[in-house]
Amino acid sequence: MERRFAIIGHRAQSNGKLNLNDLAGSAGRMDVLARSVNTGLFLSHGIRNDSQIILHLLGGPGPVRRICFDGQKLRGVHPDERAIAGHIGKALKDPVPSIGQHVELHPGLSHSGGQIEQTITEWNRDGVRIFVLDANGSPFDSKLHTADSIGFILSDDKPFTEDEFTTFEGLERISLGNTWLQGHSCISIIHHQLDSIN
């Protein structure tokens, strides 16, 4: 089963030089996003070739950017937050591609313009069943939600905005429990549940 994760980085730097020594501060909690990539894609000895992570960098300066890590094609990226952030930093030096145009920067690593609405449109086109992670949603039971391709929308360390929830209208909201967990922890739980039915 293919798994896709879309992480919204509300303050994450989208352009310019990325300070690898201050990922939690001046980069807008890029550490949270890099940790999610690490958890979403890497196994103890290898890469999940059934997983994809799209980071939505909304913090400026300039236009927003999406960066996609595709486990099926990814090469030369190590399971380390700073190393992952380094690859993100290289992308930030390039102009943001047009919305819908995906430009490959490295095997398995591409970037594009657009916000979460564009990702939802693309996932719908690909037949992905989409869930929004929300502590107030319905309990998630992986056995009831099987599909060839399944996608999850998560936030960074900030809650979703009202505008984002408006964008999510019509999508299923699921919960992994009443406690608000960090995004990378949610990804681990989802992988565990989905792995158990394969």
The pLDDT tens digits for 18-66 are 999 999 999 999 999 999 999 999 988 889 999 999 999 999 999 999 9
CATH number of 2-195: 3.40.1280.10
Q: Which two tokens stand for residue 51?
A: 């997983």
Q: Residue 161 — very low, low, confident or very high, per pLDDT cuts 50/70/90?
A: very high
The pLDDT tens digits for 176-193 are 988 888 889 999 999 998
Mean pLDDT over the full length of the chain: 92
Would you say 37 and 87 are in contact if contact means Cβ atoms under 8 Å apart? no
CA 4 to chain centre: 8
Would you say 167 and 161 are in contact if contact means Cβ atoms under 8 Å apart? no
137 CB contacts (<8 Å, ≥6 apart)? Answer: 172, 173, 174, 175
Q: Which two tokens stand for residue 163?
A: 């505008």
Specify the pTM: 0.95
Would you say 29 and 157 are in contact if contact means Cβ atoms under 8 Å apart? yes
Classify residue 73 as exposed, middle or buried by CB count within 10 Å of its CB (0-12, 13-18, 19+).
middle
Q: Is the pLDDT of residue 135 over 90?
A: no
Between CA 132 and CA 177, with CA 174 as vertex, the angle to 5 degrees is 125
How far apart, in Å, are the Cα atoms of 147 and each of 52, 127, 128? 16, 9, 8
DSSP 178: S
Q: What is the mean pLDDT of residues 137-165?
A: 87
Q: Is the pLDDT of residue 144 over 80?
A: no
% of residues, the chain, pLDDT over 70: 97
Q: Determine phi and psi for 179, rounding to 5 degrees.
A: -90, 135
